[in-house]
């Protein structure tokens, strides 16, 4: 039986070092959780929100799934969004994708992969919507990266169509939704200028009326 002793040992070392640097670090974590940010990102093991943002535990609330999708039927994601907005009262929601995303690549192909095919179905719809522009890009990597960016923009849009986000705005809550993308090759995050902070930015057909 493998007990992953190396990871348990690394955990003890990490905890010891944290206390050395700040003796009250864990007591503060126990007594409060007041992050200003909700991160909706890809489950890719190379994209760790706290690490790439330079934030400590407790400073960012995180939800991750394959290809950083915001599905209207995903109770898990929507529950996180509601809790972050209504209980934690975060000020920023960041949808962050990454270049070379395996989920995006899979959605651009016709291979059968199993259950994930259903999860990525909306990404195939997005690909079809952008097919003319994608076909005009010669470089294959550039095609994928363009699609990764479009995916982030679409998920930001999906998020802003939810009642949770719109009700926060209508109630005067300070909340901004951002679309970012991360480049694993250099570790830099790029702002895609997909930023929303008021219901007037949402097309009228998607606005929730009183």
Q: Of 64, 92, 98, 178, which residue is the catalytic one? A: 98
Q: How far apart are CA 41 and CA 38, in angstroms?
A: 10
Q: Of 46, 121, 125, 188, which residue is the catalytic one? A: 46
Determine which helix (DSSP H) or strand (DSSP E) holds 38, and give its type and residue range: strand 37-42
- State yes or no: pLDDT of 2 exceeds 80: no
Greatest distance between any 2 Cα atoms in the chain: 58
- State yes or no: pLDDT of 167 exceeds 90: yes
Q: How far apart are CA 180 and CA 95, in angstroms?
A: 6
Mean pLDDT of 144-167: 97
Nearest to 177 by CA among 9, 188, 164, 133: 164
CATH class given for the domain over 36-198: alpha beta
Q: Of 42, 77, 96, 148, which residue is the catalytic one? A: 42
Mean pLDDT of 109-134: 95
Distances (CA, A) of 171 to 69, 72, 86, 90, 195: 26, 22, 11, 14, 19
pLDDT averaged over the chain? 94
Does 30 or 171 have the greater pLDDT score? 171
**pLDDT computed for residue 28 by the predictor:** 85
Q: Residue ranges of the domains in the chain? A: 1-32, 36-198
pLDDT band per the 50, 70, 90 thresholds, residue 1? low
135 is catalytic: no
Does 34 or 122 have the greater pLDDT score? 122
Q: Of 101, 148, 160, 178, which residue is the catalytic one? A: 101
- State yes or no: pLDDT of 24 exceeds 90: no
Q: Are 52 and 187 in contact (CB under 8 A)?
A: yes
Mean pLDDT of 75-88: 97
pLDDT band per the 50, 70, 90 thresholds, residue 10? very high
71 is catalytic: no
Q: Enumerate residues 6+ apart whose C-beta is below 8 A from 131.
A: none
Please count the CA atoms within 13 angstroms of the CA of 96 that sit on its side-chain side. Answer: 27
- Residue 96, SS3? strand
Query: Considering the chain, what percentage of its residues have pLDDT values greater than 90?
Result: 87
- The residue whose two tokens read 């943002």 is 53
**pLDDT computed for residue 34 by the predictor:** 86
- State yes or no: pLDDT of 68 exceeds 80: yes
- The three-point CA angle 37-41-44 to 5° equals 140
Q: Which two tokens stand for residue 3?
A: 């007990």
Q: Enumerate residues 6+ apart whose C-beta is below 8 A from 123.
A: 67, 69, 103, 104, 107, 151
98 is catalytic: yes
**pLDDT computed for residue 208 by the predictor:** 87
Tallying the residues shown for the chain, one arrives at 210
């Amino acid at each position: 039986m493998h007990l992953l002793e190396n990871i348990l040992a690394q955990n003890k070392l990490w905890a010891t070092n944290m206390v050395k640097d700040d003796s009250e670090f864990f007591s503060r974590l126990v007594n409060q959780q007041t992050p200003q940010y909700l991160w909706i990102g890809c489950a890719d093991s190379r994209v760790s929100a706290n690490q790439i943002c330079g934030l400590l535990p407790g400073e960012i609330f995180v939800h991750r799934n394959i290809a950083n999708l915001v599905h209207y039927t995903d109770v898990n994601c929507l529950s996180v969004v509601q809790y972050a907005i209504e209980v934690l009262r975060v000020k920023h929601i960041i949808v962050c994708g990454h270049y070379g995303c395996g989920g995006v690549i899979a959605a651009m192909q016709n291979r059968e992969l199993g259950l994930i095919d259903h999860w990525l179905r909306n990404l195939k719809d997005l690909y079809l919507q952008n097919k003319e522009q994608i076909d005009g890009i010669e470089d294959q990597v550039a095609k994928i990266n363009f699609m990764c960016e479009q995916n982030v923009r679409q998920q930001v849009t999906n998020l802003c169509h939810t009642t949770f986000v719109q009700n926060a705005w209508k109630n005067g809550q300070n909340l901004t939704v951002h679309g970012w993308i991360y480049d694993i090759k250099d570790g830099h995050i790029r702002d895609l200028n997909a930023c929303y902070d008021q219901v007037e930015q949402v097309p009228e057909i998607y606005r929730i009326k009183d």
